[in-house]
Amino acid sequence: MPGKVLIVIPCYNEEASLPDVLCELQQTTLPGGYQMEVLVVNDCSKDNTSAVAKKSQAAVINLPVNLGIGGAVQTGILYARDNGFDIAIQLDGDGQHPPKELAKLVAFHLETGANVVIGSRFLEKKGFQSSFARRMGIRYFHWVNRLMTGLQIYDSTSGFRLFDRAAIEIAAVNYPDEYPEPESLVVFSKAGLNIAEVAVLMSPRLGGTSSIRHFGSLYYCIKVSLAMLFSFIRKP
pLDDT at position 214 is 47
Q: Please, what are the domains in the chain?
A: 4-233 (3.90.550.10)
DSSP characters over the chain: ---EEEEEEEESS-TTTHHHHHHHHHT---GGG-EEEEEEEE-S-SSSHHHHHHTTT-EEEE-SS--HHHHHHHHHHHHHHHTT-SEEEE--TTSSS-GGGHHHHHHHHHHH--SEEEEESSSS--S----HHHHHHHHHHHHHHHHHH----TTTT---EEE-HHHHHHHHHS--SSSHHHHHHHHHHHTT--EEEEE-------SS--S-TTTTSHHHHHHHHHHHHHHHHS--
pTM score, two decimals?
0.88
> In degrees rounded to 5, what are phi and psi of residue 42?
-85, 110
Strand order of the β-sheet with 35-42 is 59-62, 35-42, 4-11, 87-90, 161-163, 116-120, 195-199
pLDDT at position 211 is 47
pLDDT at position 236 is 63
Q: What is the pLDDT of residues 39-93, one digit of tens each?
A: 999 999 999 999 999 998 899 999 999 999 999 999 999 999 999 999 999 999 9
Single-letter residue type at 81: R
> In degrees rounded to 5, what are phi and psi of residue 97?
-110, 95
| pLDDT tens for each residue of the chain, 236 residues long | 679 999 999 999 999 999 999 999 999 999 999 999 999 999 999 999 999 999 988 999 999 999 999 999 999 999 999 999 999 999 999 989 999 999 999 999 999 999 999 999 888 776 565 655 666 667 777 777 777 888 888 888 899 999 999 999 999 999 998 778 889 999 999 999 999 999 999 987 655 444 444 444 677 777 888 877 777 777 66
Single-letter residue type at 62: N
> In degrees rounded to 5, what are phi and psi of residue 207?
180, -175
pLDDT at position 213 is 46
